[in-house]
Amino acid sequence: MTTQAKEQDASAMALRVGEHLTRGPNELYALSPRPVPLGPTAGAGADVGRLIFRRNEATLDLLHNVSRNGMLALGGVTVWVMLFFVCFFIFVMSMIFYLNITVGEALSMWGGGAYAGVLFFGALLVIPDLWIRSTAPVRFHRQRREVAFVVEHPGRRVFLPSPSAHLMYGFWFALFSISGGAALMGLGFLGAEEKFLGPTGITWMAITHLVIAPALAVGYVALYRGIRRLAGWRKETVFVPWEDVVAVATRNMAVTVGGPAGIGWELHILPPDPERPGYSLAGAGISANVTSLQMAMMQWELIRRYMEEGPEAVPECADDYSVTWYKEEMVRQRRRYEREGKPFWHYRLKCWMELGYFASWYTEYRVNHVLPKAAPEGWLAEWSQPLPEAEWAKPSEELTELSRQVEAAYERGETFLDLGPVEERFGQSGAGEVPKAAYRSVPFAAHSG
């Protein structure tokens, strides 16, 4: 491989397509700007990062967390929590015979802990959904050859912790679970010689759990958002020319006591800051975890082919992880196990332990009901409309010529990684260091562009 590698210095650099930067074990490949074909290595592209949320003849939306992988991980955690409470139930019931407690007291102890477990499970469902709703999509318009990014312009510093911070999630979960669990446990100890909380304490715990804590949580979110608005924080939709969009594949390595540990590859799709070459606009863009550089290239090639060739050039998603997909997958797996002479119940038990059906159902629910709430209703409705073909934007002459030369290099047997900095290789200036005027933008809540 003849890829030109550079040691990245501390100064910001305006990366161009084909550049390869290294810093120790970390790597970065620039796949754009100048969205040239990535060649046979990327094939026809694939949505390996599960980023595509919506696609039609004019627009394509990218958004995080479309897949059910996180739900499967949650299912595994939930099963272990369930097994823990089954064992805990056996333990507390056995205490009836060894300690001087009643059945009601033992059940209240188990019920309080079980209720806290239910709240924990609910928190694991709600927290990702809240994060998804605060992450706006990136919308590509192939006929306009523009990409809409949501940029958050920072204002003055706000010293209150964000409602989405882990600290706050832990605080609210502790407040809800302790108050609810204590109220349930107190009911089982009513009438005992040493009362747990007593009727008044149980009443206040219940009121705290059902009324005070929810009101405080909602009020804190409203207060935080109001203070941020007063401090000058605001969101805008910025329209970036398609040929300016930056796509980089990065590999980051971590060093542990046991030696180097790979974190893996990521694909980042970012809007550059035209006024500060080498920087991206604040709080914008999207990232996807991928298993290799080739997978990052396949993800970007899928987007590139949609923008340059149209939706008919983009392969359909292999699956949508819906309930229908789950049932079809069970049928396929049953046939495979029957052909191999293996007991199918082993596979079904594994799916139950992962809560596979629930993962598919909740992913389908999330796609249909949660992801659409990441943007205001009617977001960019006018801008997103298809255009008459006569009004379609055309590729620049520079990109057309560069793509032709790159395709010719692939026919000679070279790969994208062999080319090095593509514009430099084929005699184009690739000037990306000169500041330009800011991109056109509208307030985030605007329905038109």
Whether cis (ω within 30° of 0) applies to the bond prior to 272 is no
pLDDT tens for each residue of 247-270: 999 987 655 445 555 567 889 999
Token look-up 């094939």 returns: 43
Asked whether residue 288 carries a pLDDT value surpassing 90, the answer given is: no
pLDDT tens for each residue of 294-328: 999 999 999 999 999 988 877 766 566 778 888 88
Asked whether residue 224 carries a pLDDT value surpassing 80, the answer given is: yes
Q: Residue 384: what pLDDT?
A: 92
Count of CB atoms situated within 10 Å of the CB of 102: 13
371 domain residue, yes or no: yes
Give yes or no: residues 43 and 87 share one domain.
Answer: no
Q: Residue 140: what pLDDT?
A: 95
The alpha carbon of 295 is separated from its chain's Cα centroid by a whole number of angstroms, namely: 17
139 domain residue, yes or no: no
Asked whether residue 65 carries a pLDDT value surpassing 60, the answer given is: no
Count of CB atoms situated within 10 Å of the CB of 7: 8
Mean pLDDT, residues 152-171: 79
Query: Domain boundary at 186, 202, 232, which?
Result: 232
Give yes or no: residues 263 and 122 share one domain.
Answer: no
Give yes or no: residues 74 and 39 share one domain.
Answer: no
pTM given for the model: 0.77
Structural domain for 112, as ranges: 70-134+155-232
Query: Domain boundary at 177, 211, 232, which?
Result: 232
Give yes or no: residues 383 and 314 share one domain.
Answer: yes
Angle at 78 between CA 76 and CA 83, to 5 degrees: 100
pLDDT tens for each residue of 176-202: 778 877 777 666 655 444 455 667 777
169 domain residue, yes or no: yes
Distance CA 61, CA 372 (A): 11
Distance CA 227, CA 361 (A): 38
Distance CA 90, CA 93 (A): 5
% of the chain exceeding 70 in pLDDT: 85
- Between the alpha carbon of residue 197 and those of residues 96, 183, 214, 370, the distances in Å are 21, 8, 22, 40
- Mean pLDDT check: name the lowest of 271-275, 319-323, 362-366: 319-323
Query: Domain boundary at 177, 197, 232, which?
Result: 232
Count of CB atoms situated within 10 Å of the CB of 275: 12
Per the structure, how many domains does the chain have? 2
